[in-house]
């Protein structure tokens, strides 16, 4: 009798173990996938996550979010005072339609497998401001590659950089022209190829790359470009921190063009697909630099319209929206901009 009871107990335990293992094996989702499912099943969520994002290892994720938000340099200029009032600020604003001839504003760059978001947020906003300041005539782009290679006060290259010194260096030493990978229009194109950032696409997955910072070249590697490096420099006339919160940021964008901003990235952001991002799930990864080009309201929820540097495969064709007006994830706390010297 005891043998039968023991056998039954062993059989029951075996079946329980098999059932547990089968259930464990059935849940093959990555941690990002589980986060995405939790967000999409939340009826109160204001955004949608990618159902099956390409997932990279944790070390790669943290390596890519290494922006340092440092103190504002004493050499920075005073923030411009604008004549605009609260009544002048529209409910919706998009720099792409406000300055339709500025091609740089429509451009989505790709930092590839290099922690250079700090260079991309800056170079992209600077390029837009060159065009805006020229009355939409000057289409030159500021080179992300030149900033990455040759800005000695900016940080650690592909291993991260500082938010404010990148702009101060623009005023002191200038940057040459350059745009996307293998682009032949300007002096110094970006050296690293596009890749898939937490998304499906035609490229290699970014986690396969770990590029080292290139050596500073004070020449134009683009043989088709006939201007000398030193003669190709574009300088900033003024550089400044935008303080004062939501309205101050809006007035600055309306007057002079897009700005660079920094925010805190959590794991759920990697799976963003559409809607107005609000952090819900996952651990903190680090700081990230981007470009704010506008704002709007959807279903009574205010948002910032932002361009990322992960090509058009990620998010909403390379852009995303984030909650506006409450400094969500620090998005309104570290804004930097400048006026070009033309």
* Cβ within 8 Å of residue 175, ≥6 positions away: 123, 126, 142, 143, 146, 147, 151, 169, 233, 234
φ/ψ of residue 145, rounded to 5: -65, -40
Active site residue 288: yes
Sequence-separated (6 or more) residues with CB below 8 Å from residue 339: 80, 129, 133, 236, 237, 238, 239, 256
CA atoms within 13 A on the CB side of 174: 15
Residue 315 CB contacts under 8 Å (≥ 6 apart), including other chains: 199, 272, 273, 274, 308
The rounded Cα 341 to chain-centroid distance in angstroms is 26
Known catalytic membership, residue 308: yes
Q: How far apart are CA 160 and CA 325, in angstroms?
A: 28
Which residues have CB under 8 Å from 116's CB, separation 6+? 144, 148, 157, 158, 161, 309
Q: Phi first, then psi: what are they for 77, rounded to 5°?
A: -80, 165
In terms of phi and psi (left: phi > 0; alpha: psi -120 to 50; beta: otherwise), the region of 146 is alpha
Catalytic residue among 169, 222, 308, 311: 308
The burial of 20, by beta-carbon neighbours within 10 Å (0-12 exposed, 13-18 middle, 19 or more buried), is given as exposed
Closest CA to 235 of 147, 154, 148, 172: 172
Say how many C-beta atoms besides its own lie within 10 A of residue 24's C-beta.
Answer: 9
Look up 117 and say whether it is catalytic: yes
**Quick check: helix, strand or coil at residue 203?**
coil
The one catalytic residue among 197, 198, 288, 328: 288
In terms of Cα–Cα distance, which of 133, 118, 147 is closest to 260? 118
Task: Tell me, letter by letter, the H, E, C secondary structure of 259-294.
Answer: EEEEEEEEHHHHHEEEEEECCCCCCEEEEEEEEEEE
Give the residue numbers marked as catalytic.
117, 288, 308
């Amino acid at each position: 009798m005891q043998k039968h009871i023991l056998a039954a107990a062993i059989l029951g335990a075996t079946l329980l173990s098999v059932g547990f293992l089968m259930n464990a094996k059935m849940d093959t989702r990555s941690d990002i996938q589980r986060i995405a499912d939790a967000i999409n099943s939340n009826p109160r969520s204001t955004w949608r996550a990618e159902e099956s994002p390409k997932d990279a290892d944790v070390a790669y994720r943290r390596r890519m979010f290494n922006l340092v938000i440092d103190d504002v340099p004493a050499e920075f200029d005073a923030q411009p005072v604008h004549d605009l009032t609260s009544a002048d600020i529209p409910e919706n604003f998009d720099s792409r339609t406000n300055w339709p001839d500025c091609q740089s504003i429509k451009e989505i760059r790709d930092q590839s497998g290099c922690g250079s978001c700090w260079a991309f947020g800056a170079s992209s906003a600077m390029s837009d401001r060159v065009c805006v300041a020229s009355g939409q005539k000057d289409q030159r782009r500021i080179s992300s590659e030149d900033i990455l290679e040759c800005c000695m006060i900016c940080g650690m290259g592909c291993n991260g950089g500082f938010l404010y010194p990148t702009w101060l260096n623009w005023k002191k030493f200038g940057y040459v022209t350059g745009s996307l990978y293998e682009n032949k229009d300007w002096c110094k194109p970006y050296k690293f190829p596009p890749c898939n950032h937490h998304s499906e696409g035609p490229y290699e997955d970014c986690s396969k790359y770990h590029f080292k910072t290139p050596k500073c070249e004070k020449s134009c590697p683009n043989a088709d470009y006939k201007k000398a490096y030193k003669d190709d420099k574009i300088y900033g006339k003024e550089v400044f921190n935008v303080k004062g919160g939501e309205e101050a940021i809006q007035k600055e964008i309306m007057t002079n063009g897009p700005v660079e901003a920094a925010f805190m990235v959590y794991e759920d952001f990697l799976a963003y697909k559409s809607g107005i991002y609000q952090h819900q799930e996952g651990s903190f990864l680090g700081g990230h630099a981007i470009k704010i080009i506008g704002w709007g309201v959807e279903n009574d929820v205010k948002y910032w319209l932002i361009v990322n540097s992960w090509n058009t495969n990620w998010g909403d064709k390379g852009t995303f929206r984030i909650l506006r007006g409450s400094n969500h994830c620090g998005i309104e706390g570290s804004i930097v901009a400048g006026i070009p010297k033309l």
